[in-house]
Each structure stands twice: as structure tokens, then as C-alpha cells.
Structure 1
Amino acid sequence: MDLLQAARDVRENAYAPYSNFKVGAAIRAASGTVYTGCNVENVAYPEGTCAEAGAIAAMVAAGETRLTEVLVIADSPTPVPPCGGCRQKLVEFGGPEVRLTMCTLDGATQEMTLAEILPGRFDPSHMDRA
């Protein structure tokens, strides 16, 4: 399945009555299955859900815990990166080499790895005790 088309399609379902900023995300799991998510706002801001978090939740709900590719799309003049919280969520389930593609509706793209988008990330090794 094409990640770009999947993210474009799910973006249309975003619930963004406050910001009017719809975001779609698609992730490919290790099995090859594509999971999608869109942002869901709430009047009790910031209690909404980001598109990336929704896609991860769908993947985990299906029983998978490893992602191999990520694509995010929004109607913006430049490609929009995931927020800090979503960066940490993405690295929880994807290795540092996983490719993240950020897109605009007009076709602009930017690619980075998860290591590049979140250098110095917090990981389980930080919780090890000597």
C-alpha cells in the first residue's frame, strides 16, 4: 500500500474544528501492513490526539510493535515535522534508521531518519541501574 495515498485519505477524516489544520499519518509495520491516523482535536486543548499517535495506536491495537517507515502530510507551505511527543512515540517503535517522510498537499517533501529527527533520544538504557 502506498503510504502517501493512505495518509492523504485519512487526513480527510481529521477532526480539527479549532485549528482547521488537518494532519494525516501512515506507518508501515514490520509485517508490511500500513496503519493510519489523523489528528483529533478537543475543546479542552491540548487534550487532542496527533495523527502519528493515532497510527501508532492502530498498529499496537492490531498486535504489532515495530514500524519500518513513516509518512506525515498536512496542508502547509513547508513539510511539517512531528511534535516532540510524537517523535518520542515514533522512536519507541522504530529504529534509528527508520525513514520519516514529511509532505505538503502541494507535493513538497522532506525526508529524515528517526535518529535525525530526535537526536539524544530517551530510551530504555536510561532506566538501567548499575
Structure 2
Amino acid sequence: MSDNDGSQSLDAELIDVARTARERAYAPYSKFRMGAAVRTYDDEIIPGALVENVSLGLAMCAERVALFGTVTTGHKPVRLALVSPRTDGTLTHPCGACLQVALELGGPGVEVVVVDPDGESATSTVGELLPCGPHRS
């Protein structure tokens, strides 16, 4: 995992779509607004926003909304951007469930770019964040 210094792994268009999706997040309980976007192998961008529910198990993370959208539209993810507030002072990364879905749908090489509202970012891969995740061979 590395902090971004303007390298090519930073995808401004993808991050802008995730920022816009964050504005649409439905977070009446936590107020923790998150937006995501996935860039696919054929260069499509699929947005996703956090959708909470009073029944917590029915909530859906922004990352999974975007990742599931790749299946719906017939695409495969190559890069995932997440824009959200920091958690305990550090950049917020996807949860284990979101990483597992990214691993399943795109593989360990899917790039993950996390960004806070001030624009600070870090880039890693699903394989780095979930090194022992179960996946197909």
C-alpha cells in the first residue's frame, strides 16, 4: 500500500464519479457518506453509493453497489475508487466483504484507490489488502 504522489494509479475521472456518488449516499443513521466507482476493462465507469437501512443487514456498501453494477452491465472491474471520511484518523479502506467481492469479480490485481474528502489518497491492490482471500483458480 502506498500513498499517492500523483502517479498514474490515481484516476481523477474515477475519483470524481465516486465523489458525486458520495453526495447521493443514503446514510441517515451513521451520517458516514461513502461513494465508490469502478473502472472496467473496457473503460466504463460504474458508480456506487452507500445505502443504509434501519435493518443493518440490509445495508449495502458503496463499493459493492458499484461492483455488482459491473455484473449487471456485463463488465469486469479493473480499478475501484472509494471516497469517504477517514476512520480513526486514517484513510478508510473497503471492508472485508467488499474486498472479497472485488476479488471474486476482478481478481487480486484490481487496484483500490482510497481518497478522503480533502483529496489525500492511497493506492493498493485487492491482493495486498486481502492476501489470503478465497478465490477461484
Compute the TM-score of the two structures, normalised by the length of structure 2: 0.85
Cα displacement string for residues 46-79 of structure 1 (whole angstroms, at most 9, x for unaligned residues): 3201001100122111122x21111101022432
Aligned match for 1:42, one of 25, 31, 53? 53
* Bigger RCO of structures 1 and 2 (CA < 8 A, at least 6 apart): 2
Q: How many correspondences in the alignment?
A: 124
User: RMSD value over aligned CA atoms?
Assistant: 1.3
Aligned match for 1:67, one of 62, 71, 77? 77
Measured in 2, the distance between the counterparts of 1:86 and 1:123 equals 14
SS at the partner of 1:2?
Answer: helix
SS at the partner of 1:37?
Answer: strand
Compute the TM-score of the two structures, normalised by the length of structure 1: 0.90
Please name the residue that 1:112 is paired with.
124
Aligned match for 1:9, one of 3, 10, 20? 20
Alignment identity in percent?
A: 36
2:104 and 2:136 in contact (8 A); partners too: no
* Counterpart residue type for residue 75 of structure 1: P
Which structure 2 residue ranges, 5 or more long, are not aligned? Answer: 1-11
SS at the partner of 2:28?
Answer: coil
* Counterpart residue type for residue 64 of structure 2: A
Kindly indicate whether residue 87 of structure 2 is the aligned counterpart of residue 87 of structure 1. Answer: no
Which structure 1 residue ranges, 5 or more long, are not aligned? Answer: 126-130
Structure number with bigger Rg: 1
Aligned match for 2:111, one of 72, 86, 99? 99
